[in-house]
Structure formats: structure tokens, C-alpha cells
Amino acid sequence: MAQTKAKISVIQIGTLLVFVVGNGSYLARDPDLEDQENTTLFQFPSVDPIPLPAPVWLFKLLGDVTLVLHFLAMQLLVGSLTLATVWNFLGKKHSVRRDGSDAVIRKVPTLMTYVINFGVPPLLFSQVLYGRALYTSSVLIGFYWISVIVVLTLTYFLLYKCADRANSGRAWWGYSLLSWVGVVYIAKIFSINMTLMLRPEAWQPLYQASGGLGMIFPTGDPSTTPRFLFMLAGGFGLSGAGLLFLSTFGNEKPEVAGFLRKWGGIFAAGFLALEMAAGVWVYRVQPAVVQDGIMSGTLTSSALWAWAVFTVLAVVASLIAAFWGKTGSKILAATAILFGALGTAGFVVVRDGIRDLTLLSKGFDVWQRTVVSNWSVVLLFLALFVGGLALIGFLLVLVARSAKQIANQTAVAAFAGEADLQNLMEEEDDQ
């Protein structure tokens, strides 16, 4: 109850803000009314009798933060896999294109690791908050949903195969093309499920048609395609910025770095602009009640603005970075990717708002839950979470330091010809 109240006041403040800014036209009608008549035709499964073990906002916070990370990794994966495949296909052995593609593909398996592992927590938290809708839609496309696992496994394996071939100087675009198909397939299935879960009115007919295994795709949702395009365009765009980053911070040969920088910048600018267009499309296919809700909610409307502004900034930064000087600018590259990432964070919040508003208009209020927490567990988790990240950071620093030392020693040893590495190490130890 407390949460509902809090939410109402947030909406009220938002309303006021929007009104002051001069966009108060929506106040003239009651957007909820037109949809309410439909609610009798379908029902959400009943809510789990076990209360939520923590407040709704905490799940939302954790879910959105990890989803931003999932999306960042996923966008980098989709785009860099595409570019690398094209370059590897076009480039002859020892050409800049070919070397550029090799430089990129070596990073891709690690990206996939993080796509998957940052996908796990949002799925966990979404099942807690939206299980009634999410389990249902998953079962309705069950065949495709479980097929994600098979495709994911093969895709992941092929990526390692590509990296392996790149390391031994062989071409690999055939393998990466296959895994590209897998990645796009998975993205599409996710878009389908995440939109189907918002349409309880489509569930019964779909179930009747599919006979239970879930082999039929839902049709008739105007938002599925724009959402999918939005994610793909964003993916290409963000990975363009990723290449900018790789070109200035990585240690590639100068001509490879220059190549990555130029194309990375152009891609980032072009596709992030396209993402904006797709974003407008996504917004326009939302029903009036959702659009109004987004605009009147403080959080969602500011997130929408943040997304727009940061994406424009990322476009500009990428273009400048692409053509800046001979060796590029680290600051510009980092700025481009940072703005791109902030744009992603912005749209994650808007996306969350779209979901809540859509479900609410159909009678599912995510904030209406009893909460009975066991804080010892929650705190243990938070402590371990912070501790775990700190441990990883600490190890990475140690490893980087040690790697530098060893690299220097090897260089010195090579220089000194027969100089004894062992001696050198002992000397160092003595100091």
C-alpha cells in the first residue's frame, strides 16, 4: 500500500512538471477508461501466495541495473560480430580489414560470457515481479523459448572457434556468420516474448492455435518489430563506439587502429541516429495510456530525455572521434562510449515504464504486492555483491601489474640476448 501511495505522488509531481512545461493536453481525458472494458476477457494467473522477500523498488533497481549491463554487452556483441564478419569476408590475408576483424573477434567470446551472465539476474528479478505474465508468455512460445538454449550453446561454441582460427591466422567468417544468425534469432525471440507478456488478450487464441508445444509465433503486435529494430540499431551503434574505444585504448598496429577508428565512428554515428528513429517508432505504436504515462511520470520522462540527449551527444562525439587527428583521442573515444551507455541506461528505464503502464492498463499492478523480508539474506547478498566486485577489481589490478612486469622482463631479456631471466627476477625480488 505504501508503495502505491508513493507511486501516486510521483505521478502527481510528474503531472505537475509536465503541466508546467506546457504539455498538459492529456489531462483532458481519462486514458484508463477505454481499456478497462477489456479486462474481463482475460485474466492474469493468480499471484504467488508467498510474499515478496524484498520491496518492489529493490527488485526493480537490481533488475534495471543488471539489465543495463546485459544490454551493453549484448549491443556490443551484436554489432561487433556483424562488422567483424563482414571484414573477415572482404579482407585478404594480412590486409588491414582482416587484421581488424581478427582484433575484434578475439574479444567476442568474452562479450558473450557477459551477455549471458548479465542476462541471468534480470531474468531472475523479472520472474519475481512479473512471473504471472512472463511464465505464461514463455510457455505459449515454449518451443522457441527453449530453443534459445540450443542456439545459444552452438553460437557460443562457434565464437570460440572463430577466435581460435583468428589466432592461427585462418579465415573464420563462415562460422561467425552462423553464430550471427543465432544471435539475431535469440534477440528476436526475446523481443517476441517481452512483448507477448504484455498482451494477455492474445494468450488464449494463441494457446488454442498452438496446441501446447508453443510452436506458433504471436502476430498482430505493432511494437514487436520496432522494438527488435531498436535493439539491433542500438547494437550496431554502440559497438561502433566500442571499436573507437578498442582503436585508441587497445594495442593494435597503427593502420589497424586507424581503420577501426574510422569505421567505428561512422557506424556509431549512423546507427545511433537510426536507433533514435526506431525509438520514435516504438513510442508511437504505444497506446495513448502508455504514452501519457511515460510523459507524466517523472522518472520515465526524464529517462526519455536522458536517452535522447545522450544518444545525440554520442552521435556527435563518435563523428568527431572518427576523424580526430592521426592517432585519435582517447578522451573522445571514451566519451562516445560513455554517452552511448548512458543512452542505453535511459531507455532501459523507459522500457520498464512501458511495461508497467501497459500491464497496469490491463489490471496488473506490479506495485500491489505484500512484502515480507528477511533482511539477513538481503544484506548478505548485498555485502557479497560488493565484496565480489571488489575482489574481481583487486585481482584484475594484480594481474595487470604482474603482466606489465613480466612483459618488461621479457623485453629486457630479449634485448640482453643471453641475459639470464632467472637472475633478473631474483634481482627484482631483492629490491
Asked if 80 is part of the footprint of ligand HEM (rule: CB under 6 A), the reply reads: no
Does 213 contact other proteins by CB under 8 A? yes
Assigned C-alpha cell, 127: 520472474
285 lies in the site for ligand HEM, by CB under 6 A: no
> Can you read off the three cell numbers belonging to residue 330?
582517447
**Binding segment toward other proteins, per CB under 8 A, in 82-90, 283-291, 301-309, 403-411:** 403-411
CB of 155 to other proteins, least distance (A): 9
Alpha-carbon distance values, 206 to 200, 214, 216, 220 (Å): 10, 9, 7, 11
Side chain identity, residue 169: G
Only one residue has cell 571514451, namely 334
Handedness of CA 238, 240, 245, 246 (dihedral sign): positive
The interface region with other proteins, picked from 152-160, 252-260, 261-269, 411-419 by CB under 8 A, is 152-160
CB of 52 to ligand HEM, least distance (A): 16
Give 371's strand partners.
52
Using the structure block, give the residue that is written with the C-alpha cell 561467425: 176
For ligand HEM, which stretch binds (CB under 6 A), given 101-109, 112-120, 339-347, 417-425? Answer: 112-120
Of 79, 122, 214, 242, the one binding ligand HEM by CB under 6 A: 122
Contact between residue 313 and residue 339 where contact means Cβ atoms under 8 Å apart: yes
Which positions from 167 to 206 touch other proteins by CB under 8 A, shown as an x/- string?
Answer: ------------------------------------xx--
Residues 192-221, interacting with ligand HEM (CB under 6 A): 194
**Please, what sign has the CA dihedral across residues 269, 273, 279, 285?**
negative
Instruction: From the list ligand HEM, other proteins, none, pick the one residue 212 interacts with, judged by a Cβ distance below 5 to 8 Å according to partner type.
Output: other proteins
| Total number of residues that touch other proteins (CB under 8 A) | 73
Q: Which of 18, 68, 72, 74 binds ligand HEM (CB under 6 A)?
A: 74
67 binds ligand HEM (CB under 6 A): yes
Query: Which residue do the cell numbers 508453443 mark?
Result: 214
Amino acid at 217: F
Pick the closer one to other proteins by CB: 25 or 373: 373
DSSP state of 322: H
Provide, rounded to whole angstroms, the least separation between the CB of residue 219 and other proteins.
Answer: 18
Q: Interface with ligand HEM includes 234 (CB under 6 A)? A: no
| Closer residue to ligand HEM in complex, CB, 109/214 | 109
In whole angstroms, what is the distance from residue 265 CA to residue 328 CA? 11
- Interface with other proteins, residue 388, by CB under 8 A: yes
Q: How far is CA 336 from the centre of its chain?
A: 17
Half-sphere exposure of 158 (CA within 13 A, CB side): 20
| DSSP codes joined into one string, 16-53 | HHHHHHT--GGGGS-HHHHHHGGGGG--PPPPPSSPBS
Binding partner at 423 among ligand HEM, other proteins, none, C-beta below 5 to 8 Å by kind: none
> What is the C-alpha to C-alpha distance for residues 110 and 160, in angstroms, rounded to an integer?
9
Which option in ligand HEM, other proteins, none does residue 145 bind, with CB closer than 5 to 8 A by kind? other proteins
Q: What is the contact surface with ligand HEM in residues (CB under 6 A)? A: 67, 70, 74, 115-116, 119-120, 122-123, 126, 152, 183, 186-187, 190-191, 194, 227, 231
